[in-house]
Amino acid sequence: MNRGVEEERERIPMSQRPEWADVRPVPQDDGPNPVVPIAYTDEFSETMDYFRAVWQFRRLILDALNVDLHEELHFVDQITKDNSKNYQIWHHRRWVAEKLGTQIASKELEFTREIFSQDAKNYHAWSHRQWVLQALGGWENELAYCDELLEDDIFNNSAWNQRYFVVTRSPLLGGLEVMRDSEVAYAIKAILAKPENESPWRYLRGLYKNDVNSLVNDPRVASVCLDVLLDKRDFVHALNMVLDLLSHHHQPSNELKDAVDAVSPDPKPSDSNFAERVCSILQLVDPIRASYWRWRKTSIPAQD
Amino acid sequence: MGELMNEKHVKYILSVEKKKDDFESVVMEHLRVNGAYWGLTTLDILGKLDAVNQDEVVSWIMQCQHESGGFGGNIGHDPHILYTLSAIQLDIASLQNEDGSFSGDMWGEIDTRFSYIAICSLALLHRLDKINVERAVKYIVSCKNLDGGFGCTPGAESHAGQIFCCVGALAITGSLHHVDKDLLGWWLCERQVKSGGLNGRPEKLPDVCYSWWVLSSLIMIDRVHWIDKGKLVNFILDCQDKENGGISDRPDDAVDVFHTYFGVAGE
């Protein structure tokens, strides 16, 4: 692998730098501060990716010197902001937070919130946030936070995932059964706002996991499909949902059938079977997945 | 490419004493071993492996091996599970936790990526019996989401890279029956966007490396025909730097070895 054209100082191997020739865990003179000299902080910030071993060393020092971990967390704060996709930093953060315990929960939630303000889908930060909630607590405002994020960007799949996480795992909300009704309403509202949004459709299905008959029998589901189709825009996911309903023996209303036929690019569809017709339309309106829709056509259960 | 030292069973010693010695030789470019793997595999796929001096490469890789048997990312680097997949030798059993998950190293970071690396490595060495496979599978299944996909830990968002790791691990251990292939296949083929490229999660930008994660996953569950291959090929070709060679993550970005590998493999 080429070194590339960069010739910053960081690219020189550490073993060739005189100041690192004799690495020992020697404490600083100025009291119980982290050993790593402040003069090197900028270097570390720039070369975080290459210091996994040093992070390990740092933890050993922190333990040995019984350093105030609040200070350590502050140090990590600064570095994480510029290196928010570095596995080692997040893992180090988790190590520190775990040692500090439940007192640090709200600070950690606040910190990940700051990261999300820059990148609302940062996978590391979401993983950290989920860990914080489960290990240290702080569930009280999590659903409201998901609301906020989704108001900012209704397409944020991470926020939808977190919503599901909260609804199913929060000790404060009562679980999926209790929450299902209001969450279905929430998903439907999101669908109507942006029917091309993959996430709320999946979320809706997820709310009825292990109970697909309830999905099929919930009138709101067929109803939202109808509404989207009548609008004649961004109806691919709606058609897919109709297909799912039909596959579970839902009896479509004439209104729904008419709405589906109205969006068909083919003026003379040849399938007499309604479900097959839906598949044919999908092959035309979502051609990149034509193979998938062709397969769906072959796997439609026998209609009554 | 030289001889892999399968017969050598050396315990990966997780002591502080060993670590101290390593710090004296902390070197940049810890990704060199991975970079070598990606680069060489690309050349192999292109039928150009004879372009490198194989003896030199093998000799360098062997210098990355520690007394413990593990491989570091470069000469003198600490061993870590991430680099050892490239070099294929590490005692992994000690990294498995009670719940079946795997840590990356002694500090305990857990991620289904490590489950895949552990299982893949041991399978290549015919040593899967060294871990508790049933528990390893159970943990991976606990990371399955409502959309059929998998995340890094239970409850984490489905992500194509994590899906590749989980499906791979399940495939190797003969546990693919835990995967809802139709549901996951649909999630995966929905990664294909208008430009023909594949993203890793809903509403994210396409990236050439997802050609590998998504495509391999689809192949493992026999659903690769659900992707529009022609459009994907065009996307990858558009990501090439036609003047200098190499492939980038998406059209007009800078090229790198990582994406070159995944782009060529995807093709």
Q: Is a pLDDT exceeding 70 seen at residue B34?
A: no
A59 touches chain B (CB under 8 A): yes
B218 touches chain A (CB under 8 A): no
In this complex, the residue of B28, B159, B189 whose CB is nearest that of residue A292 is: B189
Would residue B227 be called left, alpha or beta, if left means φ above 0 and alpha means ψ between -120 and 50 degrees? beta
Q: Is a pLDDT exceeding 90 seen at residue B239?
A: no
What DSSP assignment string belongs to A131-148? HHHHHH--GGGHHHHHHH
pLDDT digits (tens, 9 = 90+) for B94-111: 889 999 999 987 777 899
Six token digits for residue B62: 């062997």
Computed over every residue of chain A, the mean pLDDT equals 86
What confidence category does residue B251 fall into, taking pLDDT thresholds of 50, 70 and 90?
A: confident
Q: Is a pLDDT exceeding 70 seen at residue B26?
A: no
Per-residue pLDDT, A225: 98
pLDDT digits (tens, 9 = 90+) for A86-141: 888 898 999 999 999 999 999 999 999 999 999 999 999 999 999 999 999 999 99
CA distance A268 to chain B (A): 26
What confidence category does residue B233 fall into, taking pLDDT thresholds of 50, 70 and 90?
A: confident
Residue A22 vs residue B230, higher pLDDT:
B230
Give the phi and the psi of residue B122 in degrees, each rounded to 5.
-70, -35
The string over A49-65, giving b where at least 16 C-beta atoms fall within 10 Å of a residue's C-beta and e elsewhere, is bbbbbbbbbbbbbbeee
Poorest-confidence range of B116-120, B132-136, B187-191, B255-259?
B255-259
CA distance B8 to chain A (A): 25
* Cα–Cα distance, B3 to B71 (Å, whole number): 15
- A85 is an active site residue: yes
pTM for the predicted model, two decimal places: 0.77
What confidence category does residue B4 fall into, taking pLDDT thresholds of 50, 70 and 90?
A: very low
* Cα–Cα distance, A33 to B88 (Å, whole number): 40
| Per-residue CA distances from B13 to A60, B17, B92, B105 (Å) | 16, 10, 11, 11
Q: Taking the domains of chain B in order of start, what are their residue ranges?
A: 92-144+164-173
Q: Is a pLDDT exceeding 50 seen at residue A48?
A: no
Per-residue pLDDT, A287: 97
DSSP class of B224: G
Mean pLDDT of B64-91: 61
Three-class DSSP category at B65:
strand
Poorest-confidence range of A21-25, B58-62, B93-97?
A21-25
The helix or strand, by DSSP H or E, that contains position A189, with its residue range, turns out to be helix A176-193
Residue B248 vs residue A79, higher pLDDT:
A79
Per-residue pLDDT, A88: 82
List strand residue ranges (DSSP E) for chain A, in order: none
A49 touches chain B (CB under 8 A): yes
The helix or strand, by DSSP H or E, that contains position A111, with its residue range, turns out to be helix A105-118
Asked whether the beta carbons of residue A91 and residue B77 sit closer than 8 angstroms, the reply is no
Contacting residues of A for B185, CB less than 8 Å apart: 292
Asked whether the beta carbons of residue B29 and residue A50 sit closer than 8 angstroms, the reply is yes
Mutate to test the interface with A, among B14, B19, B26, B183 (most CBs of A within 10 A): B26
CA distance B21 to chain A (A): 9
